[in-house]
Structure formats: structure tokens, C-alpha cells
Amino acid sequence: MTLQTHDFTRPLRLPPDLKARLVYWLNRANAIFAESMGTLGLTLQAQALDQHTAWPAETLDSWTGKPLGYRMFLAGDPTILALPNRLAQSLAAGLLGDSLPSEMSERALSPVESNLCELTVKTFISSLIEAWSGESSPTIELRDREPNLRRSKTFRPNEPLVVCRSSVNVLGSEQLWSWLVRVETMLELFGTVPSGPVVTPSAPQRHQMESLVRGMKLPLTVKLGRVQLTAPQLADLQVGDVIVLHQRTTEPLKAFVSGRPAFLGWPGQIAGKQAFRIESELAK
């Protein structure tokens, strides 16, 4: 038997049965999506790449630049389809019959481009519904745009997500988009509930586990603030220079436990040592 280690700071992996059915569904949906876009005059290739679990914060923070986010409700639960800005431009250009510039930079989309991207998302939703192999297709509907993907409040911080990434090759430019769905939503959708034998530990075992947990050490970090500097600004820094942080002195600081925000509070001193007074606990 081969033992697989697991980092318990990471969300649990998808059950094998669920992942197999999810891969089959997404592969069919991507094939139908490419065929449907062809009927609109745009030739592209779409392929499901990977499906992994992640925490919302790390997933949303990875989207830099000017990405597009669309709220799609799957069986009544909110999900987000995230598109890179360059992919949105490529899709719109292909539908308009235009060619891509030699160097494409991120920019705000025109109203026409935004409408064409929304049409693309609706086509993908129809493909997901058509590709479903169960008895009754799930309800998937497009609601609205996510105004700021990185600051989205769609998901709770402690709710793990399934990140479903697909590659889309259009006009010779290959980009990745991601469909972000709560793990719990996927479990309910596929009727897969994690189960296993329930083992009640004995009193000595419980005492041993309690002692182990109480002795565990978790890093708590308080960030005073942050700032972005250019390379020349960093090179010109000297002893005595003052750097203005983004954190206001009138706003509480965040304390992070194992990299995740946990508390709000204020800095201070106790017996000549730096201290942090907890004001409130962040919602989990």
C-alpha cells in the first residue's frame, strides 16, 4: 500500500468518483462549447485542464490585471467564471471578424466587446447544461458581472473551492479561464457525500489527541501594512527614509493564523515589548 501525505493547511482533495464525473462533464461541455461557437462564426479549441481544491483568498488573489468575472448560479448556489482580459479581447475580436494586434495589452472592454463576452458565457452555460449526463439537468443561470474579482465577497473565506480550469485557443492565442465552485456545491450536485467508518477513540486516545492538539504551534502574523514600489524607488532607499504604507493609522490591523485572516486589533506595547490587542474576530 502506498501512503499519500496531505498538507492539512490545504483543503481536502476531491473524492475520486466525483472528480472522474466532473472531468467527463467538463470535457463534454468544452467540446459542445467549441462546436456552438463555430456556429457563431468563431473557430476555437476548448479543453478541460485540471480540477483542484483551493481556498477562496489564494484563488482570487492570483487574478491580477483586469480579469472579467461573471456570477453564475449553479443549482441556486453562486459560482464565478473568471476570464483573463486578453482572452476576453480575443473572443470579441474573433466574433467581430477582427485580427489580434501583434502586442495585446490589458485594457477596458468596449460595450460591444462586453456584450460579446456575455454571449460567450451564455453559450458556455448552455454547453454545461447540454453536457450533463444525469437524469435532470442542473439549473445554471447567468446573473451579473463581478465588479472586482480579487475583492469578491461571493465565497466565505473558510469555504474551499473547486477550481476548474480550461484552455481556450482562439485566433492563435491560448488562454486559461477558471470556473470557481464551492466544494459543497459540487458534492450536492453529484450526490457524493464523503463517508467512512466512524471510529470512537478510547479515553486514553482522546487524552493523547487532546494533548497533541494543545501542544501544536500555529504561526500568528500581524501585518503593519504594505506598499508597492518600483525598482528605481527601491534602489534609492536609504537609512532614515520614510515609506508611507497603505494601512491607515485609524484602521485596525489584521492578524493572520497560518496565513489566513483571523482577528482585527490594534498595535501597542506591554512591558517595553511590542504587543497586539485583539478587537474582534473575523467571520469564518
8 Å CB contact between 100 and 173:
yes
Cell of residue 241, nine digits = 527614509
8 Å CB contact between 175 and 90:
yes
The model's pLDDT over 129-159, given as tens digits with 9 standing for 90+, comes to 999 987 788 999 999 999 999 999 999 988 9
Distance CA 89, CA 9 (A): 37
26 lies in some domain? yes
Rounded to 5 degrees, φ, ψ at 17 are -65, -45
Give the CA distances from residue 73 to residues 70, 115, 273, in Å, rounded to whole numbers and listed in that order.
Answer: 10, 19, 50
Which residues, in sequence order, are CB contacts of 133 under 8 Å at separation 6+?
Answer: 24, 25, 28
Domain range for residue 255? 217-281
Can you give the pTM of this predicted structure? Answer: 0.66
Number of domains in the chain: 2
Cell of residue 274, nine digits = 511590542
159 lies in some domain? yes
24 lies in some domain? yes
The model's pLDDT over 204-237, given as tens digits with 9 standing for 90+, comes to 777 777 777 777 777 888 888 778 888 888 888 8
Q: Sign of torsion, CA 225 229 234 240?
A: negative
8 lies in some domain? no
207 lies in some domain? no
